[in-house]
Amino acid sequence: MYRNKIEELKKWKNSLNRKPLIIRGARQVGKTWLMKEFGNKFYDKCAYINFDDNSRMDKLFDGDFDLERIIQGLKIESGVNIEPENTLIILDEIQETPKALKALKYFCENARQYHIISAGSLLGVAIHEGTSFHVGKVDFLDLMPLSFFEFLEALGEDEILKLLEENDFKMIDVFNSKLKEYLKLYYYVGGMPEVVNIYTINKDLKEVRKIQKELLDAYEQDFSKHAPSNIVPRIRQLWHNIPTQLARENKKFIYGLIKEGARAREYEIALSWLIDCGIVYQVNRVNNCKIPLSAYQDFNAFKLYMLDVGLLAAMAGIDDKTLLNGNDIFEEFKGSLTEQYVLCQLKQCTALDVFYWSSERGTAEVDFITQIDGKNVPIEVKANENLQAKSLKTFIQKYKTSINVRTSMSKYRKEDWLINIPLYSIGNIKTITNM
């Protein structure tokens, strides 16, 4: 399995301003695999230490921050003779020992010759809750599930992937129907590494769904194990309500749909916990189209998405026949899955900040809006080939944006006011909008 983040790790390794690196990401998105794969491929030696339920590491970091002493302890724990420059030090589940997280500051200031990567499934929660941490003393890398492009690579479709990466739309059009089938398959399988790996081995969709449900159960167990007991019921309510919210035509999150009379203040902490875990994405409304978009966020109006399109399909109880058969994806839930997919690709492939826009009266809405090369780009999402874009036209008339995108099952075409990007190519939005 190949992950594009390897390329970013190579840049980090060779950076003159390299700091200890923290990989952020939800449980089971492949953080441990990525760190080990990178270490084994690009270093002479790899010293792996797991802090989960590790009392020895608790004691090692409980004293002062004598880095020579700490390195000696890491050598003993890993069984690897750690040498600067040619050894990758991997500190997994580092949030379990808060002082180890704090120690990264001292490695940054006094021992940059050591190459250190750390990760933790609940690292975002730990930092948010006040674990001692020093901004500016570490580098960050966000890891998400496999993108659609990475999914194709895992299936061995290297030649089709090459066409997509090169934006060779004449050849892409030839294989349009095949790409649509792979896209529908990705909606079902998603990008969680374990799930993708199982599918590549046996092509068993029932096994795929079984693994996805086990992952969903594991997230719920984390709620009970790690979250304050008084907010666990609200975390569960929010979590289970996401498919219901996305099934609505207007996908703005409404607390009253969780239970009658529910208010935002009751669920603020629960929502923050889900976001910090990395298993939920919050997309805020913007009420203007100026730069920077972040300055015009309405934090009281937002949409919630899950971290993976396959997990959303699993939670919604969508079976393989419903999703994969027929010309359309399907009728009831296709818009929700398509928006979920597009959001994930925007984040996985381009790391863009994403918002949505709606008019003051709510009569028009653009699914997503982002900023590319200093320009605001609205994105209208269509689940099939119905290409009416009334809301997008309203937006363009109001804000006179020069780059406007519709992504759909239709083939690529560029018009005076609009670029239609096929859904299977949306991960290349940065390069396509500059063509």
pLDDT tens readout for residues 344-401: 999 998 888 999 999 887 788 999 999 999 999 999 999 876 666 788 999 999 999 9
In the block, which residue shows the tokens 């979250």?
227
Q: Which of 107, 142, 177 is the last residue of a domain?
A: 142
- Same domain, yes or no: 120 and 236: no
Q: Give Cα separations from 185 to 34, 58, 152, 193, 327 (angstroms).
A: 24, 44, 10, 15, 13
Q: Range of 138's domain?
A: 5-142
- Same domain, yes or no: 101 and 227: no
- Same domain, yes or no: 64 and 167: no
- Same domain, yes or no: 214 and 253: yes
- Same domain, yes or no: 159 and 135: no
Q: Which of 113, 142, 171 is the last residue of a domain?
A: 142
- Same domain, yes or no: 112 and 157: no
- Same domain, yes or no: 40 and 22: yes
- C-alpha dihedral sign at 370, 373, 374, 376: negative
User: The CATH number of the domain where 129 resides is what?
Assistant: 3.40.50.300
In the block, which residue shows the tokens 């975002």?
124
Q: Report long-range pairs for 392-397 (Cβ below 8 Å, ≥24 apart).
A: 392/366, 392/418, 394/359, 394/363, 394/364, 395/289, 395/357, 395/364, 395/366
Q: Which residue positions in the chain have pLDDT lower than 50?
A: 327, 329
If one counts the domains in the chain, the total is 2
Indicate yes or no: pTM above 0.85.
Answer: yes
* Mean residue pLDDT across the chain: 92
Q: Which of 142, 172, 191 is the last residue of a domain?
A: 142
Report the pLDDT value the prediction gives residue 330, as an integer from 0 to 100. Answer: 53
- Same domain, yes or no: 281 and 371: yes
Report the pLDDT value the prediction gives residue 248, as an integer from 0 to 100. Answer: 86
Report the pLDDT value the prediction gives residue 19, as an integer from 0 to 100. Answer: 96
Distance CA 293, CA 285 (A): 10
- C-alpha dihedral sign at 182, 185, 190, 194: negative
- Same domain, yes or no: 396 and 415: yes
